[in-house]
Amino acid sequence: MSTTALKIVLDTNILIAIIGRLSPYRWIFDRIIDGRLRMCVSNEILTEYHEILSRKASPELAENVTSFIIVNPQTIQTPIYFNFNLSTVDPDDNKFIDCAIASDADFILSNDSHFQALKQIDFPKVRTVTLLEFESEYRNEQS
């Protein structure tokens, strides 16, 4: 594992898009598995992952994915002590923003347009990238 692995917060829509073995974005999840990407999560994010995966896929898949995230030694489990409430458009997004800030993540990976409003906030600075932007920038990186 690289000591300079990117620290990322995955919005739930991205997690769903990358976990399938036949997904064109599976390479992202594979980099999480092998430690080239470090996933930052809070308890609230893990709960959402489990709930959404249970509903959209199956309770068994939800359990397997969240268990993997918890036991993966490269996962950064981040307690949230302060809520910044930076997202007023969709307050449910704040769990991802607070985790990114508390874990000093490099960015939030999301296709949710609500996160684009963060570009207008100077402090605390939270970088967001879409799946296509991430692929364009990091797909061929061999880190």
Q: Nearest Cα to 42, choosing from 76, 73, 85, 11?
A: 76
Segment 109-127, tens digit of pLDDT: 999 877 676 677 676 778 8
Residue 17 has pLDDT above 60, yes or no: yes
Question: Looking at residue 89, what DSSP letter applies?
Answer: S
Say if residues 126 and 87 touch (Cβ distance below 8 Å).
no
**Domains of the chain by range and CATH?**
6-136 (3.40.50.1010)
Segment 74-116, tens digit of pLDDT: 999 999 987 777 666 777 888 999 999 999 999 999 998 776 7
Range name among 8-17, 36-45, 66-75, 106-115 with the lowest pLDDT average: 106-115
Beta-ladder partners of 76: 40
- Cis amide bond preceding 91, omega within 30: no
Q: What is the pLDDT of residue 143?
A: 47
Would the pTM of this model clear 0.85, i.e. be above it?
yes
